[in-house]
Structure formats: C-alpha cells, structure tokens
Structure 1
C-alpha cells in the first residue's frame, strides 16, 4: 500500500539544523520493509512530502519515529487513479 507522509520542521533553527545533519548522515532512507518512491521538499524549505510503499505498519511507524523528534509528521494512505477508478466503478452499479 502507498502512503504520503507530510513533514514540517518544528519552529526552531537548532532543531531544523539537527534534522538537516541527520538527513545528510543517513540519506533519510526508511527502514527495511518500507520503499521510498519519492520525496519532495517545499521550495520555502518549511517541509515536504514523502511517497512510500509498505505492507508493514510497524516499519511505517519506525520510519515516523526516526524523525518525529524533529518534525511534525502526518501519514495518509493513498490510491492511484487506476485503483480509485475500480472503486468508483463498483459504486456506480
């Protein structure tokens, strides 16, 4: 299943700098069991979005815990248009 996680840095320059240092050290990669499909950072550098795929909710929670001390995170399950079209097709009948 695919998930979008939005992230924003807490309003503290020291925390933001620690997040940058951690990202530079680790590459911001998720743990085993979570595949990073894409990451986008907002142009104003106040946050961004990760697109990940996993069937392991524990690994997804681990990924969140790796960053939740430095960032505000929100994670949402998402559907691609083709999967949504199948749902809509069933609903129209």
Structure 2
C-alpha cells in the first residue's frame, strides 16, 4: 500500500530535523518512492510503500520527538477511477 506523509515542524526544530534526515534509513519493508521538501520551510513530503504495519511504525515513530507526521494511504487517480467504475452496477 502507498502512503503519503507530510511532516511539519517548528522553526526552532529545524536543525534536529536536518540531523534526522541525514540518518534516514527506512526499515526493511518500507520502499521510498519519492520525497519533496517545501523550500519555503517547515514541511517535508514523502511517498512510500509498505504492507507491514510494524515497518510503518518503525519508520515514523523516531520522528515524533521533532515533528508532527500526518500519513494517509493513497492510490493513483487512474487506479481509483478503475476501482470505482468496477463498483458501478
């Protein structure tokens, strides 16, 4: 399953967040698809895939001391349209 996470942090935590990024190593079972940084500051976006709830937690929990993470499962819009079309009777 694909997840899109948005991490936000307070300006005073910027250096700690940068230090975390330098050490970013996803656990087994997490496949990072892409990452983006809001160049105006304070936000980071990451798209990754995992089927393992333990790996999901291992990937996200270490950040909880320096930022807030909002994650949601996502799918490509073409796949969503196919799914919804197949449900129509």
TM-score, normalisation: structure 2 = 0.89
Q: Is the partner of 2:39 in helix, strand or coil?
A: coil
Unaligned runs of 5+ in 2: none
SS at match of 2:3: strand
In structure 1, distance between residues paired with 2:45 and 2:74 = 13
Q: Which residue of 2 aligns with 1:4?
A: 4
Aligned length: 89
Write the mapping of 1:15-54 to structure 2, written as runs, cut at 5 A: 15-24=13-22, 26=23, 28-54=24-50
TM-score by length of 1: 0.85
Consecutive aligned runs of 4 or more in structure 1 exceeding 4 Å deviation: none
Q: Report the alpha carbon displacement of residue 12 of structure 1 after superposing the two structures with TM.
A: 4.7
| Structure 1 portions without partners, runs of 5+ | none
